[in-house]
């Protein structure tokens, strides 16, 4: 989905400036989704 693509792109872009992504949390009215818990980061 778009959330996974955004996480992947953010991780790649931030790696260029030596920033490590520990998690990417997406929130909505339905709750929150941790990409680290899903094994994406």
Name the pTM for this structure: 0.77
Residue-wise pLDDT for 1-41, tens only, equals 899 999 999 999 999 999 999 999 999 999 999 999 999 99
User: Which H helix or E strand runs over 14?
Assistant: helix 2-15
Give the span between the Cα atoms of 6 and 10, in whole angstroms: 6
The residue ranges of every structural domain in the chain are 2-34
Q: Kindly report the number of other CB atoms within 10 A of residue 35's CB atom.
A: 21
Residue 1's pLDDT is 84
């Amino acid at each position: 989905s778009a959330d996974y693509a955004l996480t992947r792109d953010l991780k790649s872009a931030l790696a260029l400036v030596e920033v490590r992504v520990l998690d990417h949390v997406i929130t909505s009215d339905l709750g929150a989704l941790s990409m680290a818990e899903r094994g994406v980061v």
